[in-house]
Structure 1
């Protein structure tokens, strides 16, 4: 992978922030967009903006072909068995809520169990809390090891014959932990439970094969993988999706509407009520083309080198605590002694370095770590070792500044 060529594909990186060249280390929140994706969106809105599926005119046909073509790109990207198993949503949050509402509330009752982990993003906690409250089901948590990993022995002990849903993130957005979701799915299925994987932090960075993972549902977002905001994907096994009722009703998702009853379209459209996110889906298709051209194996290897380098360099800083396991995805979450993460991020921003600070939509995990907040540097295909050097220099300046203050 030629990193210089890759960086030239991202127009936003060629700028100064606060008088310094931009170092963008917040890709876990949202990735930057290559010119090819921006141009594809521009092409749609300038050249063939139209609604899909509803018209027979030329623009409508072109828009429909591009929209459904993007669905096929997603199918190949995650190796789904059929495009019927690929549902476009507003993002990972909507995808998980779709499963929680259309499957969880319909299938669960008192005595049933939902199993998740304390490291989950709020988007994979709150929907299941609400399902438990609505159905009388019990919410259970797989305990974490001291380094923020999951042991399969604990999964075996937590998942029981009463478990109906297991919902686990593939990669932690805080710790960088890569969870053994394939093995967890096998345990879930042994107990006749379904397995949902939150893939928001894995689809952009790791080769994902949903058939090999044998997960029942897999959710991810376009904006974290070089695509537009407002577009995401829910993969679901066709047998399960066919058995689920839609939870959003209106145009496009219907087959026949009578005065007192209606029937639904076949998959995937019964879950895509109203005008879909057409430009977003087309942009996501362009993002997949861009990622495929580089290769996920190349991206993963590049990020692995970066995170190893970052861990080594950041350990040079006295008073800096790094959270999470040694083996991890491409991010480092940390705290600097006696300095609030928001202050760390503010000083870094003055140096042109963008990092994330806060609870990262993972407040239960923050309590498990015994902190109120952390700072996070996350890497993607356009980052370099020089970016990490700038981060380390910025952290040293932060430490010196607050050392002088105190």
Structure 2
């Protein structure tokens, strides 16, 4: 795509012009989209990249000598380079394309998991998404390892003293979410990584909810793995990234076998390809990778200090307005959090509230948000989650507040 100029400051009305779906209607009402924690909407440049590829550039990559194959390969690898620069990885081959965060975590759980022995310990936290729980349970069952869980407080903050006490010479890996999808809590992963490294453990950061809200520098964090999904960062579904430190990735066996991940194949022996191809078996989601690169080119045009300040202002405004409604109960009030508000209407099931808000054109999430242990901790069936992106506005918050008041009256 053509290089976009870096914007100064932040103007939400200008940003909204980039996202065509924000100007659509549902039930003859303007769409108020507050489900960004589930998936973010796509700017026109990403949509155009997908259309252009299939209309003018489509070919398989890494194998062909003809023009379209070479051209597509160049686009795909340049997308990898774009993402490398954005997250400040040392080398582009440390950026592995996957299907998404879930696939990335499963890759580590299987491949790094082959290095885990009976009695080794894996640490996760009480606020994890199911995708950062189940793969580790499967690994521990397979290898005879022990899974430990960092507890959290009712405010939705991890008990860091308990975490420090859990770490020991048996700890093989820690895997913790950067930002909770259910509560919005921002965890101090840089500090936690340093503590894990002090006992020789590796650290995976689940960045599914952080890339779209803040800048991420994997070298500064010093994480061993960092996973995220394309669709959360204004890119396509079905594509994501796993960053890994070179020495760790080289020590791991491949996750899957097939084309592109091999150097030589005979019936007697197969030798594996170098990074990143060693972990990218088969024909990839080519257009997904290219369009994800476009999404990061787009994100690179923003002053993220201004973005973060705007999102904090929006979160603070929404929180203050919701607190004026006496029937609202909040879940997750950490001191350091981003654009997620989880709440319930007293005496009402979240599904009923969400369904009625939908009829008013307001899209929120209801349920356990693939974080059922979090809901069990609070002894509730789920929450209503309003999750914001940088294209949301205070006017949309006002419509949410008006809608909630109407729904509460209807259900009373």
Normalising TM by the smaller chain, what interval? over 0.9
Aligned residue number for residue 85 of structure 1: 94
Structure 2: where are the runs of 5+ without partners? 1-9
Q: How many residues align?
A: 402
2:30 matched to 1:37?
Answer: no
Q: Matched residues in 2 for 1:304 and 1:212: separation?
A: 23
| Conservation of the 8 A alpha-carbon contact between 1:333 and 1:375 | yes
Equivalent residue of 2:376, what SS? Answer: helix
Which of 226, 232, 236 is the matching residue for 1:228? 236
Q: Matched residues in 2 for 1:294 and 1:190: separation?
A: 36
Which of 287, 299, 305 is the matching residue for 2:307? 299
Equivalent residue of 2:241, what SS? Answer: strand
2:331 matched to 1:340?
Answer: no
Question: Following TM superposition, where does structure 1 have runs of at least 4 consecutive aligned residues deviating by more than 6 angstroms?
Answer: none
Q: Within 5 Å, which residues of 2 pair with 1:203-214?
A: 203-214=211-222
Aligned residue number for residue 97 of structure 1: 106
2:153 matched to 1:138?
Answer: no
**1:151 to partner: Cα distance:** 3.4
| Conservation of the 8 A alpha-carbon contact between 1:299 and 1:380 | no
Q: Within 5 Å, which residues of 2 pair with 1:37-186?
A: 37-104=46-113, 106-186=114-194
2:338 matched to 1:329?
Answer: yes
Q: Matched residues in 2 for 1:113 and 1:205: separation?
A: 31
Q: Within 5 Å, which residues of 2 pair with 1:263-342?
A: 263-324=271-332, 325-342=334-351
2:21 matched to 1:12?
Answer: yes
Q: Matched residues in 2 for 1:19 and 1:160: separation?
A: 58
Q: Matched residues in 2 for 1:146 and 1:117: separation?
A: 14
Q: Within 5 Å, which residues of 2 pair with 1:392-403?
A: 392-403=401-412
Q: CA 1:222–1:295 in structure 2 vs 1: closer, same or farther (change >3 Å)?
A: farther
- Cα RMSD over matched residues? 0.9
**1:296 to partner: Cα distance:** 2.6
Equivalent residue of 2:366, what SS? Answer: strand
**1:146 to partner: Cα distance:** 2.5
Larger deviation: 22-31 or 299-308?
A: 299-308
Q: Matched residues in 2 for 1:26 and 1:172: separation?
A: 14
2:35 matched to 1:26?
Answer: yes
Q: Matched residues in 2 for 1:61 and 1:83: separation?
A: 18
Q: Matched residues in 1 for 2:306 and 2:293: separation?
A: 19
For residues 292-315 of structure 1, the C-alpha deviation after alignment (integer angstroms, 9 at most, x for no partner) is: 112332322221111100100000
Query: TM-score scaled to structure 2, two decimals?
Result: 0.96
| Conservation of the 8 A alpha-carbon contact between 2:115 and 2:252 | no
**1:60 to partner: Cα distance:** 0.7
Which of 170, 186, 196 is the matching residue for 2:204? 196
Q: Matched residues in 2 for 1:273 and 1:299: separation?
A: 37
Query: TM-score scaled to structure 1, two decimals?
Result: 0.98
Equivalent residue of 1:364, what SS? Answer: helix
| Conservation of the 8 A alpha-carbon contact between 1:89 and 1:232 | yes
| Conservation of the 8 A alpha-carbon contact between 1:169 and 1:198 | yes
| Conservation of the 8 A alpha-carbon contact between 2:351 and 2:366 | yes
Aligned residue number for residue 223 of structure 2: 215
**1:192 to partner: Cα distance:** 0.5
Larger deviation: 141-150 or 89-98?
A: 141-150
2:380 matched to 1:371?
Answer: yes
**1:95 to partner: Cα distance:** 0.2
Q: Matched residues in 2 for 1:213 and 1:56: separation?
A: 40
Q: Matched residues in 2 for 1:296 and 1:237: separation?
A: 25
2:255 matched to 1:247?
Answer: yes
Q: Matched residues in 2 for 1:79 and 1:326: separation?
A: 28
